[in-house]
A and B are shown apart, each in its own frame.
Chain A
Amino acid sequence: MNERITTPYEGRPAVWDETAEIEAPLRLHRSTAPPEWMDYNDHMSESCFLLAFGDNADAFFRFLGVDEAYRAGGHSLYTSETHLHHRHEVALGDPLEMSLQLLDHDRRRLHIFHEMRKGGSGVLLASAEQLLVHVDTRAGRSADLPTHLLERLDAIAATHAALPTPDVVGRPMGIRH
């Protein structure tokens, strides 16, 4: 059996509490940069930033209601785009605090923004802007979100509407002179 990529939240059922206050932004995941994410220079490898943001996304999916049972029903959320900005290198053992902001959504798409900050100092280490699409995994194409997930997204969007849009959102890559 080969090791597969997993997240710390795998197997944990989603629980939505309608009465709970929704954080803006959401703070659902924190971790410590592990040895297997380091390069030869003891800095975090580029692709491991995506693993860290992936763990944060999975925490968000379970907060929202997308867990193994939901996926077994034939639907899931797939990433269609990720735009990373690296601000500072991450060293072995650095405490990582992640936040997640819902920027926008429609019937089948989510636009989200993650920040990774260093625990304690709060220094911004990296950010990730992502587009997710709700898919029918059997048909292999995008599909509308069910009503209960749309209602939850609307509730999150209502509290996140007060947050400023980060300056890098929607900004194209390029060499600026």
Chain B
Amino acid sequence: MGEREPATDLPGTPFTAYRELVRPEWLDYNDHLNDASYAIALTTAHELVLESLGLSAEYRASHGASMFTVEMHLRYVAEVAGGQTLTAATTLVEADHKRLRLHSELYADGVLAATGECLYVHVDTVGGRTAPFPADRQARVDAMRAAHAGLPRPAHLGLGAGARP
């Protein structure tokens, strides 16, 4: 996939490019979406955001650098069945010169099924250590951060596991 201009969605709206039908192999014995499969949807949705920032798999190949997931925090809200359509609304919550934090609401047929937060760090895969974003990627990150600055933040952001707003 080719590189895109920064922030494919309108300024001031979450990133919503992800849309996918629940696959049969994501279900468990009970025909419900398995815990781990929510993470597949979340990482796929976030990969689209990273792609729009020019920080996807293609970037890894061309620049010898990549985004490494440091933390992932999933809050399961509802069961999801086979045949449902998953969508996501993603906000860039914060960023600095080498780190990004994304939050997504995951929906199944339009009903909130889970929320997921990920913290990523930019890594020089050749040197095997964290590294600052190149200037052009930093500009894209800053542009999305500015576009998302006014979006509402969910009450559970910044809370540890088990804590309730």
Contact = CB atoms under 8 A, between A and B. Distances in A.
Nearest to B32: A78
Nearest to A111: B162
Given A4-B28, A5-B34, A175 B76 contact: no
Given A173-B71, A175-B101, A81 B161 contact: yes
A116 interface: no
Contacts of A97: none
Contact of B96 (A10, A170, A175): A175
A83 interface: yes
Size bracket, chain A contacts: 35 or more
A18 B85 CA distance: 46
Nearest to A39: B57
Contacts of A173: 71, 73, 101, 117, 119, 158
A81 B70 contact: no
A81 B72 contact: no
Contacts, number: 110
Contacts of A19: none
Nearest to A6: B29
A3 B25 contact: yes
A172 B158 contact: yes
A171 interface: yes
B57 A40 contact: yes
B150 interface: no
Name, among A47, A84, A177, the residue most crowded by chain B CB atoms within 10 Å (CB to CB): A47
Contacts of A174: 94, 101, 119, 158
B76 A78 contact: yes
B39 A10 contact: no
B10 interface: no
B43 A83 contact: no
Interface in B23-76: 24-29, 31, 34-37, 39-40, 43, 57, 60, 68-76
B78 to A, nearest CB: 10
29 contacts: A2-B27, A3-B24, A4-B28, A5-B36, A5-B37, A47-B36, A47-B40, A47-B43, A48-B36, A54-B34, A80-B75, A81-B75, A82-B72, A82-B76, A83-B72, A83-B73, A83-B74, A83-B160, A85-B71, A86-B70, A111-B161, A169-B161, A170-B160, A171-B160, A173-B101, A173-B119, A175-B99, A175-B101, A177-B96
